[in-house]
Amino acid sequence: MQMPIPLLEVSHLQKRFGKAVVVNDLSFSVTAGEIFGLLGPNGAGKSTTMQMIVGLLEPDGGTITLEGMPLCGRDTERFREIGFVPQDLAIYPEMSAEENLQFFGDLFGIPRVPLRSRIAEVMDWIGLSRSSHQRCGSFSGGMKRRLNFGIGILHQPKILILDEPTVGVDPQSRAHLLDCVRELAATGVGVVYASHYLEEVEALCSRLSIVDHGKILLTGTMDELCHSGPRRIELSVTRGSEQLQRRLPTEARCHRSLIDNVLKIDMPIDLTDTTRNGTEDRLLEKVSELISLVRDSGAELREIHTPQPSLEQLFLSLTGRTLRDG
Amino acid sequence: MWAITLKDLKLLMRDRRALSLLIALPLALVGILGSASKHMVNPTASDGGPIEPLRAYAVLVPAYTVMFTFFLVNVMARSIIQEREWGTLRRLRTSPITPFALLWGKTIPFWILSCAQGAVLFLAGRYLFGMPWGSAPWLLIPVLCCTSLAATALGLWVATIAKTESQVSAYSNFVVIVLAGVSGCLVPRGWLPDWLQTASLLTPHAWALMAYDQVLRAAQPQIGLLFGSCGVLLGFTLIFFLGGRSRFQELQ
């Protein structure tokens, strides 16, 4: 099968601030119509990466190409093909939503007549048609976020860079924004979506990278990532569980229900250094070892299953549970 | 670039407080001090000669025009600080315009405002207070334009040095009050000690005042001296603009 040509390709990107390496050899690519997620805790290097793509920061190493052409320095014409929705709001509160769009449309050199119809289209899309003449300083948080998004897509970019676009918005506005992103991708726009909201990334992105300390820890589709995540075997045992409990490996966590005296065992399985197929075989091997152990201990097995790890479990297993302050 | 200029002009027109500070306040001050000057005892002009009551306006109007032109530093620097706070400066930097166009786009509306402010003050001086415009009034135009350019470029520089609105206030108060005081905007330059008159040549205010003095008070303006002053003002503009531009690039 022929691989699609990447719209955006980030290769071995590096950025230092003083001695601190903020982005370290980071590479990924996005094809047309793809929503690619960059998932990471605060301070992981997501925003710095985004800022390098849109030209706000100069990389210390590596390359960024758009349709095979390098994005370097202040090549202002290339910015016409990139849409950027920054994490912090970037709107003029003293102007109306329509004036904001008019201004940014003029800045991107959209001719007057098509701009007028494009503004109406974007207003309708972001659900602000009825408030188009209202001063946006008086908007709610969700309305401001939607306008922030609308400005980023006004000039019909080929690639859209979204840096946590739903921070602090109500569920309705969030759902609306996510629908807009899906619709845009369906028209062929490539999207890079940085967030630490796992459920958003899970729902939206076809492929994603988990980033921490400026490095990509894992890249793949949701299915691929979850298969490479930490696996567990969960089992419930009724009679004769005391002996079994003594013979279980130390990493197994046991919890006895006071109501029905059922012993619930949660056992993490180390499956590192195995291929995807190898992972499933090794997991089955572990399951059968555990069943034999239950039988030999004279216990009665009620149920056993091997749940697929959630994105949250995978994320925490890779990035740890230490609090991040950004 | 013109989109930024038009947007800033629109925002300026909505900022009534800034407009009243820049136009109504100097007008009121000129009116009050002009009336008071009729009772001044033997005041002297920059050349040391006595000031006729009506000609007091020919000293006051340019002096206050120059001083209030530099009030613009505050308004302009605030505008750039606001762009930073609103996050829009970052958005502007991701749009298809060069940093040079961005800076000029931000500078031009304030230059227009400054020229308009000066024009209003000179028109008021003439038609409200009877101030003479000298033998060649058209020469006011280059002086006004060059002074406004120096002030707006200084505003740009201050905006890139200051990080907060309080810093903008501190720096612009220095620019407005101290530089106006030492250059002869608050009292006629002729009243200043010689060493201060010489030292004040390091300020754009002093050159602007000397140029206005030529236009408004000299029987036959010395064109060389006048355009020399304008040249120095353009030199200040260049220095301030380049200073602001390099600071702006550092900020990026």
* pLDDT tens figures, A258-275: 777 788 888 887 766 555
Tokens of A322: 């230490």
Q: Which residue positions in chain B have pLDDT lower than 70?
A: 37-55, 250-252
Cβ within 8 Å, pair B3-A89: no
Asked if pLDDT for residue A195 goes beyond 90, the answer is no
Question: Is there a single domain that holds both residue A182 and residue A266?
Answer: no
Question: What are the CA-CA distances from residue B48 to residues B135, B208, B215, B224 (Å)?
Answer: 21, 19, 17, 22
Give B68 to chain A, closest Cα distance, Å: 25
Angle between helices B56-69 and B204-217 (to 10 degrees): 150
Contact predicate A45/A38, CB 8 Å: no
Cβ within 8 Å, pair A92-B96: no
Cβ within 8 Å, pair A84-B92: no
Q: What is the pLDDT of residue B42?
A: 46
Q: Quick one: what percent of chain A has pLDDT higher than 70?
A: 93
Q: What is the pLDDT of residue A326?
A: 55
Question: How far is Cα A161 from Cα A205, in angstroms, rounded to an integer?
Answer: 13
Helix (H, G, I), strand (E, B) or coil at A188: coil
Cβ within 8 Å, pair A151-B91: yes
* pLDDT, mean over chain A: 87
Model confidence at A2, in pLDDT bands (50, 70, 90)?
Answer: low
What does the pLDDT average to over A115-140?
Answer: 93
User: Is A326 within the bounds of a domain?
Assistant: no
Question: How far is Cα A51 from Cα A68, in angstroms, rounded to an integer?
Answer: 19
User: Is A320 within the bounds of a domain?
Assistant: no
Give the per-residue SS3 of A131-145.
HCCCEHHHCCHHHHH
Residues of B (71-130) whose Cβ lies below 8 Å from A:
86-88, 90-99
Q: What is the pLDDT of residue A183?
A: 93
Report the complex ipTM.
Answer: 0.81
DSSP string over B216-233: HH-SS--HHHHHHHHHHH
Question: Is there a single domain that holds both residue A16 and residue A149?
Answer: yes
For A280-286, the CB contacts below 8 A with 24+ separation are A283/A231, A283/A233, A286/A233
Question: Is there a single domain that holds both residue A101 and residue A14?
Answer: yes
Question: Is there a single domain that holds both residue A220 and residue A87?
Answer: yes
Which of the pair, A243 or A14, is modelled with greater confidence? Answer: A14
Q: What is the pLDDT of residue A189?
A: 95
Contact predicate B212/B65, CB 8 Å: yes
What does the pLDDT average to over A137-155?
Answer: 93
Interface with chain A: mutation pick from B88, B92, B100, B245, highest number of A CBs within 10 Å = B88
Cβ within 8 Å, pair B3-A103: yes
Question: Is there a single domain that holds both residue A262 and residue A153?
Answer: no
Question: How far is Cα B17 from Cα B24, in angstroms, rounded to an integer?
Answer: 10
Q: What is the pLDDT of residue B43?
A: 47
| Tens-place pLDDT, residues A53-92 | 998 888 999 999 998 888 876 667 778 899 999 988 999 9
| Number of domains into which chain A is organized | 2
Q: What is the pLDDT of residue A50?
A: 93
| Tens-place pLDDT, residues A199-208 | 888 889 999 9
| Domain definitions of chain B by residue range | 2-251
Q: Which residues make Cβ contacts (< 8 Å) with residue A290, sequence separation at least 6?
A: A233, A235, A267, A304
CATH of the domain at A270: 3.30.70
* Residue B17 near chain A (CB below 8 Å): no
What does the pLDDT average to over A14-42?
Answer: 93
Q: Which domain holds residue A240?
A: 231-308
Question: Is there a single domain that holds both residue A215 and residue A300?
Answer: no
Question: Is there a single domain that holds both residue A26 and residue A142?
Answer: yes
Question: Is there a single domain that holds both residue A196 and residue A121?
Answer: yes
Which of B198, B77, B204 lies closest to B143 in space, CA to CA?
Answer: B204
